[in-house]
Amino acid sequence: MNKGNLFIISGPSGSGKDTVLQKVFSLCPNIKFSISVITRDMRPGETPDGKYRFISREKFEEMIANGELLEHNVFVGNYYGTPKKYVEEQLESGFDCIVEVDVNGAAQIKEKMPDAVSIFICPPSFEVLKSRLSNRGTDSAEAVNKRLEASIGEIKRAKEFDYVVVNDNLEDAVDGFISVIKSQHLKTKNNTSAIDSIVNK
Ligand code: 5GP
């Protein structure tokens, strides 16, 4: 059995990344999602059993000290991190795994795991980005501006990624994303078990 593939996904707040990911998971149910640990407050509409585990700063710092995180970063004043064990277990068991992180987290993972495939989800324009951030209605104007600034900062680093998916039309974005996954499956290194099982008969 070949190991699973790790896909690192980044995209600024307002890129529509969550919607793209939800659709990808509904179409590719075997891909595992790495749940992040974070220290920010839960937003309206979020639940404790969703895409994040909400933990205290003390607990987060303990996880850093114990080497339990594959990467971590401070984003708009809060810690965000990827627990290492879950990701390693999925890959070892042959499952593909998606980690959704900011650009700093993506760079940290890529350095430790150069075989990981990184995908940046990008909004189609500044105007669309701004309007998506303002229309969420869950944050204050100050928070929206902070996120807009952070988003532009992230887009400046999009060129560090292996692939860029521009999310103008959801269907096309999902299609592009799944093409990357499929082409990764066709890589020779992901088919050595099939080859060996024939050659070694
Ligand atoms: P939000 O607070 O809007 O849900 O997320 C803020 C940013 O943190 C987004 O760019 C999101 O991709 C990123 N993020 C989510 N989970 C992680 C993580 O585990 N590690 C890092 N470095 N960033 C994360």
Note the pLDDT tens digit of each residue in 93-135. Answer: 999 999 999 999 999 999 999 999 999 999 999 999 989 888 7
**Best mutation site among 43, 72, 101, 122 for ligand 1, i.e. most ligand atoms within 8 A of its Cβ?**
101
Q: Judge if the beta carbon of residue 100 lies within 6 A of ligand 1.
A: yes
All residues at 6 or more sequence positions from 168 whose CB lies less than 8 Å from its CB, including other chains: 124, 128
Q: Judge if the beta carbon of residue 82 lies within 6 A of ligand 1.
A: yes
Q: Judge if the beta carbon of residue 73 lies within 6 A of ligand 1.
A: yes
CA–centroid distance, residue 2 to ligand 1 (Å) = 29
Q: Is the pLDDT of residue 137 over 70?
A: no
Which of the four pLDDT bands, split at 50, 70 and 90, describes residue 37?
very high
CA nearest ligand 1 atom 21, residue: 101
What are the structural domains, with CATH classification, of the chain? 6-199 (3.40.50.300)
CA nearest ligand 1 atom 7, residue: 102
Q: Is the pLDDT of residue 138 over 70?
A: no
Q: Is the pLDDT of residue 136 over 80?
A: no
CA nearest ligand 1 atom 8, residue: 102
Closest CA to 44 of 135, 147, 139, 134: 139
CA–centroid distance, residue 46 to ligand 1 (Å) = 14
Q: How far apart are CA 132 and CA 21, in angstroms?
A: 17
Is the Cα dihedral 108, 109, 113, 119 positive or negative?
A: negative
pLDDT of residue 196: 92
pTM attached to this predicted model: 0.93
pLDDT of residue 81: 98
Closest CA to 84 of 2, 189, 6, 180: 6
**Chain Cα centroid distance, residue 124:** 19
CA–centroid distance, residue 39 to ligand 1 (Å) = 11
* Window from 37-46, 67-76, 135-144, 186-195 with minimum mean pLDDT: 135-144
